[in-house]
Amino acid sequence: MKPVAIFRHFSTEGPGYFATFLDHHSIPWRLVRVDEQEAIPASIAAFSGLVFMGGPMSVNDPLPWIAHSCELIRAAVADGLPVLGHCLGGQLIAKALGGIIKQAPVKEIGWGPVHVLGNPDAQAWFGDLTGFDTFHWHGETFSIPPGATRVLESAHCANQAYTKGKVFGMQCHVEMTEEMIRQWCRDGAGEIAASGSPAVQSAEIMRAGMGPRVAALNAVADRIYSRWIAGLARA
């Protein structure tokens, strides 16, 4: 089986629980360290799927790897390869497929509920789940790309996730681990203090009761990731 390519855009925003999930299912993966100036692959030929992680930059920034990533995403979608995006990754896929990324009404940082919409695509990915508590860290938001279906929403961000065939893009972070939350709270202390947003939590609130909250989020991630890997070619 060809490996899944995982694109890391920032050193502390790696695959997290997603890597654990792939290892548990004996699915090979390769980390593309964009944050270390590793080149975006010129072709999708070596991979069974593409996964894009988060990062503090904007997909509207004039960074050369953004255009290259969008080209790769469009090639994958045209060829029927599964594509998955977390936060910045979801924005990157939306941009590649014709969506618009702009500043969100408010910055969202910390734990918060999302609602699963009642359409057939949402039910296909989430089953009987009507909502869940997830982790957020974003100041921008994507529009739903043409032909895609909105499947998640929150009180502060209407477009939390979309799907289109084998594509699944999220604004929220379902890949979190306890250590990632601790690290982000340390690194983002200044951003938290300066935000002034009603949807930004303190580091103390984010870390409180992390064990059960992360375990519950892992269970939701299992639903999303299980459906996503079902589209991978196993040959």
Q: pLDDT digits over 154-194, tens only? A: 999 999 999 999 999 999 999 999 999 999 999 999 999 99
The pLDDT of residue 232: 97
Assess if residue 194 is contained within a domain. Answer: yes
Domain-embedded: residue 164: yes
Task: Provide the domain count of the chain.
Answer: 1
pLDDT at 234: 83
Query: Quick check: is 73 in a domain?
Result: yes
- The pTM of the whole model exceeds 0.85: yes
Which amino acid belongs to residue 208? A
CATH assignment at residue 154: 3.40.50.880
**Structural domain harbouring 103:** 4-229
Give the chain's radius of gyration (CA, Å). 16
Residues of the chain with pLDDT under 70: none
DSSP structure class, residue 143:
P
Task: Calculate ∠ Cα 40-42-47, nearest 5°.
Answer: 85
For residue 235, being part of any structural domain is answered with: no
pLDDT for the residue numbered 235: 73
**59-125-93 Cα angle (round to 5):** 15
The answer to the question of residue 40 being in a domain is yes
How far is 130 from 137, CA to CA, in rounded Å? 22
Residue 198: inside a domain, yes or no? yes
Residue 232 phi, psi dihedral angles, 5° rounding: -75, 140
3-state secondary structure of 69: helix
114 falls within a domain: yes
